[in-house]
Amino acid sequence: MSWNNEDGLFQRFDTETSVVAGDGQSNSKVQVLHVVIDSADLPAITDIYGDRPYIPANAVILDSVFVCETAWTGTTPTLTVGLAEQDQTVIDADGIDAAVAVDTEQAAAGDVFVGDGALTDRSVTVGTANAYVYAATGGTVTAGKSHLYIRFMKTDL
């Protein structure tokens, strides 16, 4: 059963289900994944599960940009960001960026830097499985929060 409600929204009920466009994401081939990286709650590899945002299998990463919200502080704090499959199999432990000196690169709100990991050079895909972002710190981190934007292109036809 279906109808248009008062504000023009098409409603479906009962056995008539909604139709998802494409794969449930934007139909655009180029998309951006946004991940919050907070020192108090890092997206660890053990936090990967199916309903988290991901980069689709066989996608090519075009670039990655970190934008600081809260300054990163501590004793020689570093940040490494990689990708893993849903079952926590590592694709590349530092494929987005490795051992970034975040107390320098993300020292104040608004600071920006571009990731330079091996998967961000536009020449390889993320592999045959969906890729989930995870992060790890080195040194002693006392505070810090950044937004990571990964621009990727789907290669499916």
CATH of the domain at 32: 2.60.120
Structural domain that includes position 84: 26-153
Question: Exposure of 31 by Cβ count < 10 A (0-12 exposed, 13-18 middle, 19+ buried)?
Answer: middle
* 52 assigned to some structural domain: yes
Handedness of CA 44, 47, 52, 58 (dihedral sign): positive
* 5 assigned to some structural domain: no
* 104 assigned to some structural domain: yes
In whole angstroms, give the CA distance from residue 107 to residue 112.
10
* 2 assigned to some structural domain: no
- Could you tell me the two tokens for 124? 């390889």
Taking the model in full, what pTM does it have? 0.81
- What pLDDT is attached to residue 22? 39
pLDDT, tens digit, for every residue of 84-119?
999 999 999 999 999 999 999 999 999 999 999 999
SS3 154: coil
pLDDT, tens digit, for every residue of 38-51?
999 888 888 877 67
CA distance to 26, 98, 132, 143, 157, per residue, from 50 (Å): 18, 25, 9, 28, 24
pLDDT, tens digit, for every residue of 42-77?
888 888 776 788 999 999 999 999 999 999 999 999
Q: How many domains does the chain have?
A: 1
* 12 assigned to some structural domain: no
* 8 assigned to some structural domain: no
* 9 assigned to some structural domain: no
Phi-psi region of 27 (alpha: psi -120 to 50; beta: other; left: phi over 0): alpha
* 73 assigned to some structural domain: yes
